[in-house]
Chains A and B, each alone.
Chain A
């Protein structure tokens, strides 16, 4: 499903899943616009998230992801558009809506003066949860976060991955309907990322709804039931990963490396591939059927190549371009 230039895509929330009626969306965003000075950072965004979904907002740096999240939480006022979060209008009733939401911001914000457990107790206090409820939830949350043995540890003794997991546990202290994560695994090593992903998948299997932003395609690929690619503040595409790939990218990719890759691509590859992109010393050949490409490459010594199915990274690059964003 591709949005028009003005963001007038048919509501993605109307997609059917098994034909079951699914109640009101957990988050609905209509015509969201936000301007900073002369730059319009969000330019007419529409999307909605149904219960039980994992919805990923994908976009290069500066695409408007974090601004969109902050608007949804009622932390900044949009210039135009309407937002409904957990059935409450935002920003008007944003505080009430946040009672039902858990947030993991981009940067860790644990209280360094408190222990792991105290961090959860204090955060639960911000939701006015009775102490008994907090105390009952903490062991399960620590267990979930793999921090069962760290209950009394000081924050400074935790690794980066542990801190992130504690951030996640903290965001769950109010048993939220919707969990919002802003680049949850940026800066983590692969082991730590996989632990976070496992946790999020576990939450999804329990029926939680997740909205996450990321620029890691493997993260979106593993977790998202639906994703929206945004760039320059506009929705470029929004659908299931499979449908997006089918609609936008040729199914097979052959990456050709080496000094001669460029020359080969110009002379032979271009004719054999449906689409061709050259980045540095790599030629990306996109094809519906890679057999002719592979046959040709087999006759050329000195060229290394990789044949693989198209993935979200190909989609992302196709939709947002290869140039660097800072």
Chain B
């Protein structure tokens, strides 16, 4: 395969739908375990940190600390879910089960498979976003229509981190490879995007770095939405997330073509 054909622009077509549907049908078989997994971890963090640390510090950013950390958890969970799907699950389908190979022998192109996987990552991010929102609502927070905008926000976060995950997938020799992504990307993202505390309190240079992190922009939108307000600077926040998502998807696509179409 020539360099130009590996670098050609992504093909966007509805042919991705049967592949996306396949993933949905597999998910349906394991749905309960999957939803419990989505909720359990963030719920424990929310309760323990939210009420534990929350009792020392009271309100943060204009809301009780439980709600503050809960909003962070929504975004964090979208990030984790999509990254996981783009790495471990996609790797199983691509490498271990050879599902992608089977599909591209049918009249479906690798670009269609990649688009399906990408959108599926975002779909799963929305599912976990919804699950945690329900928990937050049940705890008595975020009772505002604005909070529902967090669902499409979860989709964009899912596109962004799903694409990151797919980049890793394209490069991975095995599952162990994904540990790098946790250490080098997800953990810093978690600590410096304002999930647990407002980033504004950090030294200026660190806050600047935080501003380059996609999760920070998601959280900057989610917090006001949870309080029933429209966020400021939506164009910038969405723009940053979308830019990360599209560039990463293109890189993932090129690397995957190079890996499989040779």
Contact = CB atoms under 8 A, between A and B. Distances in A.
B35 to A, nearest CB: 17
Interface pairs A-B: 4 shortest CB-CB? A109-B98, A126-B106, A103-B105, A109-B102
B114 to A, nearest CB: 14
Main secondary structure of the interface of A (DSSP, over half): loop
Contact of B105 (A36, A98, A118): A98
Given A105-B98, A109-B97, A125-B18, A75 B104 contact: yes
Interface of A: 36, 73, 75-77, 95-96, 98-99, 103, 105, 107-114, 118, 122-123, 125-128, 170, 174
B109 interface: yes
Given A76-B261, A125-B18, A125-B21, A113 B108 contact: no
Given A113-B30, A118-B25, 14 more contacts: A77-B1, A77-B2, A77-B5, A95-B109, A107-B98, A109-B98, A111-B26, A111-B102, A114-B25, A123-B106, A125-B21, A125-B22, A126-B108, A127-B106
Contacts of A77: 1-2, 5, 261
Contacts of A174: 106
A109 B101 contact: yes
B102 A105 contact: yes
Interface SS of chain B: helix
Nearest to A103: B105
13 contacts: A77-B1, A98-B107, A105-B98, A105-B102, A107-B98, A109-B97, A109-B98, A113-B29, A122-B25, A123-B102, A125-B21, A126-B106, A127-B106
Interface string B18-52: 11011001100110000000000000000000000
A202 B102 CA distance: 24
B191 to A, nearest CB: 35
Contacts of B22: 111, 122, 125
Contacts of B5: 77
B107 to A, nearest CB: 4
Contacts of A73: 105
Contact of B103 (A99, A108, A114, A126): A126
B26 to A, nearest CB: 4
A105 B261 contact: no
Contacts of B98: 105, 107-109
Interface in B95-145: 97-99, 101-109
Interface of B: 1-2, 5, 18-19, 21-22, 25-26, 29-30, 97-99, 101-109, 261-262
B106 A98 contact: yes
A105 B105 contact: yes
A308 B223 CA distance: 84
Given A96-B107, A125-B22, A128-B18, A76 B102 contact: no
Contacts of B2: 77
A95 B105 contact: no
A264 B1 CA distance: 54
Nearest to B108: A126
Contacts of A98: 105-107
Contact of A75 (B97, B107, B261): B261
A96 B30 CA distance: 34
Nearest to A36: B262
B12 to A, nearest CB: 15
A109 B99 contact: yes
B94 to A, nearest CB: 11
Nearest to B104: A75
B8 to A, nearest CB: 11
A140 to B, nearest CB: 20
Most buried by A among B25, B101, B106: B106
A109 B101 CA distance: 7
Contacts of B103: 126
Contacts of B30: 113
Nearest to B101: A109
A125 B23 CA distance: 13
Contacts of A103: 105
A25 to B, nearest CB: 20
Contacts of B106: 98, 123, 126-127, 174
Nearest to A73: B105
